[in-house]
Amino acid sequence: MSDPAIFALLFGLLIGLLAMGLWVALALMVMAFVAMAFFTNAPEGLVLATTLWGHSHSWPLAALPLFILMGEILLRSRLSEDMFSGLAPWLGRAPGRLLHVNILGCAIFAAVSGSSAATAATIGKMSVPELKGRGYPESLILGTLAGSATLGLLIPPSIILIVYGVATEQSIARLFVAGILPGLMLVGLFAGYVAVRALLDRDLIPVEATDFSLMEKLRASRRLVPVVLLIAGVIGSIYTGIASPTDAAAVGVFLALVLASMTSSFGWSEFKDALMGATRTSCMIAFILLGAAFLSISMGFTGIPRNLAAWIGAFELSPYALLAALTVFFIVLGCFLDGISIVVLTTSIILPMVEAAGIDRLWFGIYLVLVVEMSQITPPVGFNLFVIQGLTGIDILRVAKAALPFFALLVLGAALITVFPGIVTVLPNAMGN
Model confidence pLDDT, tens digit, residues 218-254? 776 776 777 777 777 777 777 677 777 778 778 888 8
- With H, G, I as helix, E, B as strand and everything else as coil, classify residue 326: helix
Count CB neighbours of 268 within 10 A.
Answer: 7
Distance (Å) of CA 187 to CA 126, 182, 221: 19, 9, 20
- Helix, strand, coil distribution of the chain in percent, nearest 5: 80, 0, 20
pLDDT classification of 113: cutoffs 50, 70, 90: low
CA 245/CA 174 separation, integer angstroms: 10
d(CA 1, CA 39): 10
Q: What percent of the chain has pLDDT over 90?
A: 7
Is the Cβ–Cβ distance between 359 and 318 less than 8 Å?
no
By the 8 A CB rule, do 234 and 114 touch?
no
* C-alpha dihedral sign at 98, 100, 197, 381: negative
For residue 379, give every residue at least 6 positions away whose Cβ sits within 8 Å of its Cβ, in sequence order, or none. 335, 385, 396, 397, 400
What residues have CB less than 8 Å from 290, skipping those under 6 apart? 25, 29, 51, 52, 55, 56
Q: How confident is the model at residue 432 (pLDDT cuts 50, 70, 90)?
A: low
Q: pLDDT value at position 193?
A: 92
**Is 84 a residue whose pLDDT tops 70?**
no
C-alpha 344/C-alpha 25 separation (Å) is 10
The predicted model gives 163-192 an average pLDDT of 88
Q: How far apart are CA 241 and CA 245, in angstroms?
A: 9
**By CB neighbour count within 10 A (0-12 exposed, 13-18 middle, 19+ buried), where does 328 fall?**
exposed
Measuring CA to CA, how many Å separate 211 from each of 92, 204, 333?
Answer: 8, 20, 47
Q: How far apart are CA 22 and CA 407, in angstroms?
A: 29
Confidence of residue 338 (pLDDT cuts 50, 70, 90): low
Q: Distance of CA 403 to CAs 76, 378, 400, 411, Å?
A: 26, 9, 5, 13
Q: What pTM was estimated for this model as a whole?
A: 0.73
pLDDT digits (tens, 9 = 90+) for 135-165: 888 888 888 888 888 887 788 777 788 888 8
Q: Out of 64-73, 135-144, 379-388, which region has the weakest mean confidence (pLDDT)?
A: 379-388
**Strand ranges (E), 85-224:** none
The band of 129, judged by pLDDT with boundaries at 50, 70 and 90, is confident
CB-count burial class (<10 Å; 0-12, 13-18, 19+) for 20: exposed
Backbone angle region of 169, left / alpha / beta, with phi > 0 → left and psi within -120 to 50 → alpha: left
Neighbours of 332 (CB within 10 A): 11
Between 153 and 84, residue with greater pLDDT: 153
